């Protein structure tokens, strides 16, 4: 990954503080610029009262500007971080303000907490974080509540299905980790209940095609050799079930330092109704998740 500019949206919550500290670790590693962004909301429906509302916001923002500087220093008092910029923006909602800012100011990475002030936010569809993950054009790293930050990645988990998106995630895992880190690949089949299987005494694809495990393992080894990562420590798990549930089960059990997934950037009806596998994993996994982007707008 080529990371030169990092954005950290903040609402001053504890989770946002964690995201900021993780962003500083990455900024130091990649020698990147770091911008802390705070959105002030305009909750005023009357056009007559809007000028007065904006004037009030301007006075508040002058105070907030100084407070953010102190906030950054407080969060980073144990680090040697310097040259961190900050900016206050306005909007009718936090996510729309952040996304509008991103349209005008491109970044290579966004680091954001998975939920902020509300304990219930992780249970709700359409949170600020989920919308940033869904619509931002650049990769997004989500940091969960109460996570113990790490300076070094020891294990990274990549859900893998041999698609172009999965290959991008695997290549990124190889790029951002060193030779001592372990890469864990999850190859998960959607579980299907078909009468034809049951007539043969089988209840899954793995029963019908037992060679799948060996073939998948062999193909992954070939891919690693092609990307000059054959010497890396790789584990391969093949299972069957609902993808986001299997991923969450594996990651929570094995305590991976990082999960890497790819969002296709789709905005079709299915995304609004159900959400993507990536979004469901973010809701149910208490580990950092790096969401890469490969845009296939529909």
> Rounded to an integer, what distance in angstroms lies between the CA atom of residue 94 and that of residue 33?
22
- Tens of pLDDT, residue by residue over 105-151, are 999 999 999 864 444 444 444 588 888 988 899 999 999 887 877 77
> Rounded to an integer, what distance in angstroms lies between the CA atom of residue 158 and that of residue 155?
10
Which one has a higher pLDDT value, 228 or 182?
182
So where are the chain's domains? 5-143, 155-293
User: What contacts 298, CB < 8 A, 6 or more positions away?
Assistant: 266, 267, 268
> Rounded to an integer, what distance in angstroms lies between the CA atom of residue 208 and that of residue 205?
5
> Rounded to an integer, what distance in angstroms lies between the CA atom of residue 52 and that of residue 56?
6
Angle, CA of 140, 143 and 148, to the nearest 5°? 145
Q: Lowest-pLDDT range, 58-72, 213-227, 277-291?
A: 58-72
Angle, CA of 139, 141 and 147, to the nearest 5°? 175
Q: Express as a percent the part of the chain with pLDDT over 70.
A: 71
* The pLDDT of residue 200: 53
Q: What is the mean pLDDT of residues 253-280?
A: 69
Instruction: Work out whether strand 289-293 and strand 140-143 pair parallel, antiparallel, or are unpaired.
Output: antiparallel
* The pLDDT of residue 184: 92
- Tens of pLDDT, residue by residue over 164-180, are 888 889 989 988 988 88
- SS percent in the chain: helix, strand, coil, step 5: 45, 20, 35
CB 212 within 8 Å of CB 238: yes
155-293 has the same fold as 5-143: yes
Residue 86, both tokens: 């900050």
> Rounded to an integer, what distance in angstroms lies between the CA atom of residue 155 and that of residue 170?
13
> Rounded to an integer, what distance in angstroms lies between the CA atom of residue 155 and that of residue 257?
5
Q: What is the DSSP letter of 190?
A: P
Q: For the domain bounded by 155-293, which CATH number is listed?
A: 3.40.50.620
Which fold is adopted by the domain 5-143?
Rossmann fold (3.40.50)
Strands (E), the chain: 5-9, 33-41, 84-91, 109-113, 140-143, 155-159, 182-189, 233-240, 258-263, 289-293
Backbone angles phi and psi of 109, in degrees to 5: -160, 140
Backbone angles phi and psi of 263, in degrees to 5: -100, 135
> Rounded to an integer, what distance in angstroms lies between the CA atom of residue 170 and that of residue 286?
21
Q: What is the DSSP letter of 191?
A: P
């Amino acid at each position: 990954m080529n990371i030169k500019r990092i954005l950290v949206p903040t609402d001053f919550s504890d989770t946002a503080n964690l995201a900021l500290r993780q962003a500083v670790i990455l900024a130091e590693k990649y020698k990147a610029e770091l911008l802390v962004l705070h959105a002030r909301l305009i909750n005023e429906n009357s056009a007559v009262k809007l000028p007065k509302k904006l004037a009030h916001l301007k006075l508040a923002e002058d105070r907030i500007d100084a407070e953010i500087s102190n906030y950054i220093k407080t969060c980073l008092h144990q680090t040697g971080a310097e040259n961190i910029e900050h900016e206050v923006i306005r909007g009718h909602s936090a996510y729309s303000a952040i996304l509008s800012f991103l349209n005008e100011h491109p970044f290579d990475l966004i680091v954001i907490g998975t939920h902020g002030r509300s304990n219930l936010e992780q249970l709700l569809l359409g949170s600020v974080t989920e919308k940033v993950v869904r619509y931002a054009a650049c990769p997004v790293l989500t940091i969960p509540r109460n996570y113990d930050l790490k300076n070094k990645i020891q294990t990274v988990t990549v859900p893998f299905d041999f698609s172009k998106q999965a290959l991008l995630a695997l290549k990124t895992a190889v790029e951002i980790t060193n030779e001592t880190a372990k890469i864990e690949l999850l190859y998960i089949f959607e579980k299907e209940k078909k009468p034809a299987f049951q007539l043969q005494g089988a209840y899954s694809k793995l029963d019908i095609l037992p060679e799948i495990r060996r073939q998948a393992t062999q193909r992954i080894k070939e891919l690693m050799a092609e990307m000059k990562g054959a010497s890396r420590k790789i584990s391969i798990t093949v299972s069957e079930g609902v993808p986001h549930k299997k991923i969450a089960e594996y990651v929570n059990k094995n305590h991976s330092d990082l999960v890497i997934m790819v969002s296709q950037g789709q905005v079709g009806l299915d995304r609004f109704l159900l959400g993507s596998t990536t979004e469901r994993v973010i809701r149910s996994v208490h580990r950092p998740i790096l969401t890469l982007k490969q845009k296939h707008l529909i």
